Structure 1
Amino acid sequence: MRLFEMILLLCTASSIIIYFFGKTRLSIKALSGWVSLAILAVHLLTEGYRWPLLPLYFIVLLFSALSLYQYYKKPPLKKRRPVHTALISSILAAVLFISGGLMVLFPFFQLPEPTGQLSVGTQTLHLIDKSRQEIFAADRNPNRKRELMVQLWYPAEAVSGDPAPFISSGSKMIKAVAQSIGMPAFLLNHLNYIPSNSYKDAAIAKINSTYPLVILNHGFSSSRVYQTSYAENLASHGYIVASIDHTYSTAATVFPDGRTTYTDTSQDMLDTSDTYRDKLGGEWTKDILFTLDQLEKMNKGTVPSIFKGKIDLNHVGVFGHSLGGAASYDAAYDPRIKAGMDLDGSLFNYRNKHGFNKPFMFMMSDQGFNMYKRVIDKQYFSDQELKELDTTPEQYKRDVDNMKAMFKHYQHVVRQGGEVVYVQGTKHNNFMDQQLFSPLITRLLGITGSIDGERSIEIVNRYVLDFFDKHLKNAGGYLVTGPNPNYREVKFISSTFSKLNQT
């Protein structure tokens, strides 16, 4: 809740009490109504309108009009009966309560503040891979090339002015976000006013000559904006972070000319076989490696940018959520990438591959690990349970076989010194900033788990930073090597996979 929203709510509640139950003079009652009107004007001018406050706005305008009328009306209005006073005040109090409740359901939140000492700059790149045809576009135009929007976060010099907006694409992006969680767009109009902790096109910090690079990937039908807090936190600790919008697999991607693409990678655009996920994920891996190619050119100066000579290409990491985590694992086979993390993502293109010999970490949701644990313990679903899950025994058998093949990769990672953990109380969407949009509603709808949203973001940020500090900066590593009393929700389960019998 913003400052003037809170003041307006408290002032209006006081006005109701003064007006109906106070024994003050009429001029004092009128003044309380006018003060509320003045606060409303300041709120609208400085903070902007929000739909949950419409009932509150109505009460303020009603009281202001009534105060003016009573103050100047001669003779004064007749005294109300106590029953009328009680009824009217109760209705207004109920309306005020509804407005306050809506503000709680749809809060004006702040993104978690980065924990590093450095300011954060950001800029967005429009990249075109002229070597690849865009296979997801509906028009199937063979001349259409793969286009990406990539947002960079980086350590910045002293900054000034207002930070960049959390969602810079405005109404198009907010409409897509609302559709992705099944809400009308106007319910999320407050996202227009949420600031980030980053400053657009700020000068890159001079404290170090170069900075390690981390490439970040969102989940399917998600967006790079949902991982903003992770990117900002890494940048504040001295990393350059490149977050990719994987076109036609996002809630919305808005290009500089205003063109907007949405999730359009339906199976029939590729084929209807079991290799769909492999083909889709394979395109994401190509996106990652192409982005890395372009950043190499920027670092050399063949593509003009502020990052010339600033990217430490000997220390490159990759991580992501869901399909973006799986793509991070797949991209980590590239020798330029030194370490990676997968946040609750099931792998693709793993059946005929051996593992790699480099640091990697899997961080699962409680929900995801419980699904795997059932297979590990051979507690398979009954036919009735499968029917309730709207799947068939044949499909479930394929899923179990795929999980077992995936487990071999987890096993290999552990044997190479990597870790597998899960976070108690989390579900799949607890690894995104989306959980901050309406924490109460997402929890009630089962979109997120029982863990507090800010706590889950803190945990992921701490472990992501500690992992990359250890493997890209040769520092840290005190969290990712074993249980920590400050983060009891994080359960290390590497032994579950290292001892797993795959027969």
Structure 2
Amino acid sequence: MAGSDIAIILSIIGFLGAWLMRPLSFRSCVLLLFACVGVLSCVWGMMEDRWQAKDALFVTVGFVCVALFVLIRNKPRKTGFPFVSGSVFLICSSFGLYQLYLFPISSIPKPTGDYIVGVRDFELDDTSRLGVLGVDSNEERRLLLRVWYPAQDKAGIKRARYFRTKEVDHTAKGIGTLFGKPELLTHLGHVRTNSYENAPVLEGASDLPTILYSHGYLMYAGQHEALMENLVSHGYVVYAIQHSRDSSSTVFPDGDVVEMDMSIFEDASVQTKTEEMIASLSGNTFDERIQGVIGSSAQMFPYDGRFLQSIPVWFKDRLFVHNQLAEGKVPESVRDIVQISNWEKTGQMGMSFGGSVIGAICMVDKRCAAGVNIDGRDFHIQTIANEMPVPFLMIHSDLQKFYASEGVTPPGKGKTENDFSYERLDKIGLKDDFYRMEIQGAHHMGMSDLPLFIRDPLKTEFVGETPVEVIIRGQNDLIRSFFDKYLRDMSNDFPVSQLEPYKDWITEIDLTELREWWLALESDVRIDIENQLKDLRAREAREMGIND
């Protein structure tokens, strides 16, 4: 809770208390004092991006007028309890504080591991790619990275804010703009994380398990702060890439800002609503859906739409970043972290569009030892009806809510938007190290830190009704245990024991029906579908330079 929040609440409580205590000496002066303090506290909060104090400002200004009226009128004090006026002021106070309640300045949950979490930002520039995603034709590809790592000490070091100072005016406002309210998340600049900026690296650390992460479309590198901190507290190093222009506005360590490209919002809405795309999601039969998958995949080439351009760009971003880090071509400020990271056996992870690219990366990059897709619809053809060569965890938000948000009816056959991805169709559901899960009640936007910062009734509408401890802690436990098993070779009974505490909310997805459909098709039909997909994968490989 911000200092201004506390001051506003106490001043309103003080005013109400004084109003109800009619025998109080100097009552009118006390009323005026609390009302004025309330006004000043609201102004203080609004000057520091606590826009939710606006309603409280109206209320406290009203209280000032009431106090002045009582003071000037100077009539003999009434006796008895002021039920009517007290009730009116209580209702007004509730109205004034409601926005502060809906949008709390919450704490990030404490990590469950033993290690202190350090955090640093740095920049990597790809000089071989110029004019990417609409920037000047001679401008190189600039990428912001945020790294969380096990730290040695935190003495005298401040915890990082969720949005750094300049990020409040750019990154946070960029996200708010998507919802028609630029200031929507600016108050999160008051939130202190559990990460310590520029803390010294853990002494003696080496070859630490390493994860590379990509955010969701138009989002930001730190959108899974709670997850990152929890992983690092257990000994991981996590690097998050902010894909500039396709993210919210990016603030680089030198203060430069690359603004988000708002044109992609409308273009993505068009590109993901084609007849073929809708058929792939909601066809009444598997036959209709697989033809929709093939048709929508063919429409992607030659990646000339603004949204479609992002597909190869993010793929190349991740390969570039991994190569630079593995080769130690990094700023001096993070060299010590890079040197303790394992670059030959990495975890790859992403959310939404960032989750989509993970499948493609793990298909072709042998340094990927395990992958996690957090609620990302698959836009990469390499993964369709193709066996994922490494362990993989696919976590979906509530599927009914997903289809509702897309404006399409749920499929007549199948369950998820990625039914045809990551496994051979004749063996789908039979791979021991491939997992598909659904978090009941969760909206897509709830698969991040956002449930921490919004309360009901808005919480249910925007991020879902899943309890915060389930959607945050459940993801944390599942993802860490998955990587523990496949990056660290730990025996942990994944996912049986990890699902048990959340069995009412997190369920495994069974696609037996899809496998049985495929096996029942005529041989020549299966061969025709496989050949079409093979041709599409070959074209995607050429377009994206996968074989270069």
| Contact kept in structure 1, 2:414 and 2:514, CA below 8 Å | no
Specify the alignment match of 2:246 in structure 1.
249
Cα offset for 1:205?
Answer: 1.0
**CA offset at residue 84 of structure 1?**
13
State how far apart, in whole Å, the 2-side matches of 1:500 and 1:231 are. 39
Question: Which residue of 347, 352, 368 maps to 1:337?
Answer: 368
User: Match of 1:191?
Assistant: 188
* Contact 2:419 2:511 survives alignment (8 Å): no
The CA distance in 2 between the partners of 1:336 and 1:204, in whole Å, is: 24
1:431 is aligned with what amino acid? M
**Partners in 2 of 1:19 and 1:133 — Cα distance?**
66
Closer/same/farther in 2, CA of residues 360 and 130 from structure 1, 3 Å limit:
same
More off after superposition, 277-286 vs 224-233: 277-286
Aligned mates of 1:356, 1:196 — CA distance in 2: 35
Q: Does 1:406 align with 2:421?
A: yes
TM-superposed CA distance for 1:499, in Å, is 4.0
Aligned residues of 2:400 and 2:410 also touching (Cα < 8 A)? no
**Change in CA separation of 1:199 and 1:239 when aligned onto 2, cut-off 3 Å:** same
The two structures have a TM-score, normalised by structure 2, of 0.74
Please report how far the alpha carbon of residue 129 of structure 1 lies from its aligned counterpart in structure 2 after TM superposition: 0.9
Per the TM alignment, residue 319 of structure 1 is displaced from its structure 2 partner at its CA by 0.8
Report the Cα distance in structure 2 between the residues aligned to 1:91 and 1:496, rounded to whole angstroms: 60
1:459 maps to 474
Match of 2:152 in 1: 157
Aligned partner (choices 207, 210, 220) of residue 210 of structure 1? 207
Amino acid at match of 1:287: D
Contact 1:466 1:476 in 2 (8 A): no
TM-score by length of 1: 0.80
Look up the match of 2:300.
274
Are residue 177 (structure 1) and residue 175 (structure 2) matched?
A: yes
364-373 or 92-101, larger mean C-alpha shift: 364-373
- Counting only pairs closer than 5 Å after superposition, residues 400-479 of structure 1 correspond to structure 2 as 405-406=420-421, 408=423, 414-415=430-431, 417-440=433-456, 442-443=458-459, 446-475=461-490, 477-479=492-494
- Work out whether residues 324 and 330 of structure 2, in 8 Å CA contact, stay in contact via their aligned partners in 1: no
Return the alpha-carbon distance in structure 1 between the equivalents of residues 434 and 409 of structure 2: 19
Alignment of structure 1 residues 93-492 onto 2, 5 Å = 93-137=90-134, 139=136, 141=137, 143-159=138-154, 160-168=156-164, 169-182=167-180, 184-206=181-203, 208-255=205-252, 256-263=254-261, 266=264, 273-275=299-301, 276=303, 279-298=309-328, 305-307=335-337, 309-333=339-363, 334-350=365-381, 354-367=386-399, 374-375=410-411, 377=413, 405-406=420-421, 408=423, 414-415=430-431, 417-440=433-456, 442-443=458-459, 446-475=461-490, 477-481=492-496, 484-488=499-503, 489-492=505-508
| Offset of residue 95 of structure 1 | 2.5
Distance in 1 (CA, whole Å) between partners of 2:82 and 2:15 is 14
| Cα distance per residue 1:177-208 (max 9 Å; x no partner) | 211233x2334331221122211111111263
Report the CA distance shift for 1:55/1:86 in structure 2 as closer, same or farther (over 3 A): farther
Letter matched to residue 481 of structure 2: D
* Percentage of identical aligned residues: 22
Give the distance between the partners of 1:53 and 1:461, measured in 2 at CA: 33
Q: Kindly state the Cα deviation for residue 359 of structure 1 after the two structures are TM-superposed.
A: 0.9
Matches within 5 A, 1:43-58: 50-56=50-56
How much has 1:369 moved relative to structure 2? Answer: 9.1
Contact 1:407 1:497 in 2 (8 A): no
The answer for the alignment partner of 2:277 in structure 1 is none
Displacement of 1:118 = 1.1
What is residue 289 of structure 2 aligned with on the other side?
A: none
SS in 1 for 2:224: helix
Alpha-carbon distance, 1:351 to partner? 5.5
Query: Within 1, Cα distance between the matches of 2:356 and 2:243?
Result: 13
Offset, 1:218:
0.9
Q: Which amino acid aligns with 2:241?
A: I
Is the 1:369–1:422 contact (alpha carbons within 8 Å) kept by the matching residues of 2?
no
User: 1:305, CA displacement in angstroms?
Assistant: 1.6
- Once the two structures are overlaid, the 10-residue window that deviates more, 120-129 or 404-413, is 404-413
Counterpart position of 2:535 = none
Q: Post-superposition shift, 1:55?
A: 4.7
Alpha-carbon offset, residue 154 of structure 1: 0.6
Alpha-carbon contact 1:421-1:494 (below 8 Å) kept: no
Determine if contact 2:173/2:184 at 8 Å carries over to the other structure: no
Question: 1:158 deviation in Å?
Answer: 1.5
Alpha-carbon shift at residue 348 of structure 1 (Å): 2.5
Structure 1 residues 245 and 94, CA gap change in structure 2 (3 angstroms): same
Partners of 1:301 and 1:80 in 2: how far apart?
Answer: 72
- The two structures, once aligned, show a CA RMSD in angstroms of 3.9
Report the Cα offset of residue 294 of structure 1. Answer: 1.5
Contact kept? 1:421, 1:491, Cα under 8 Å: yes
The separation in 1 between residues aligned to 2:498 and 2:157, in whole angstroms, is 41
- CA displacement 1:276-332 (0-9 Å, x = unmatched): 476522221211111111211228999972225311223310111111111111111
Sort the Cα spacing of 1:34 and 1:352 in 2 relative to 1 into closer, same or farther, 3 A.
closer
CA distance in 2, matches of 1:192, 1:86: 40
Read off the aligned partner of 2:315 and give its amino acid letter: T
Give CA deviations for 1:12-54 in whole Å, capped at 9, x if unaligned: 324323334432322x774576578679879988995733334
Following the alignment from structure 1 to structure 2, what is the Cα–Cα distance between the partners of residues 495 and 339? Answer: 21
2:25 corresponds to 1:25: yes
Aligned CA distance change for structure 1 residues 186 and 421 (closer, same or farther; 3 Å)? closer
- One-letter code of the match for 1:24? L
Between 225-234 and 412-421, report the one with greater CA deviation. 412-421
Q: 2: CA distance between counterparts of 1:443 and 1:304?
A: 38
Measure the CA separation in 1 of the matches of 2:429 and 2:377. Answer: 15
The answer on whether the counterparts of 2:133 and 2:245 sit within 8 Å (CA) in structure 1 is yes
d(CA) in 2 for partners of 1:369, 1:33: 50
Offset of residue 441 of structure 1: 5.8
- The answer as to whether partners of 1:319 and 1:328 remain within 8 angstroms in 2 is yes
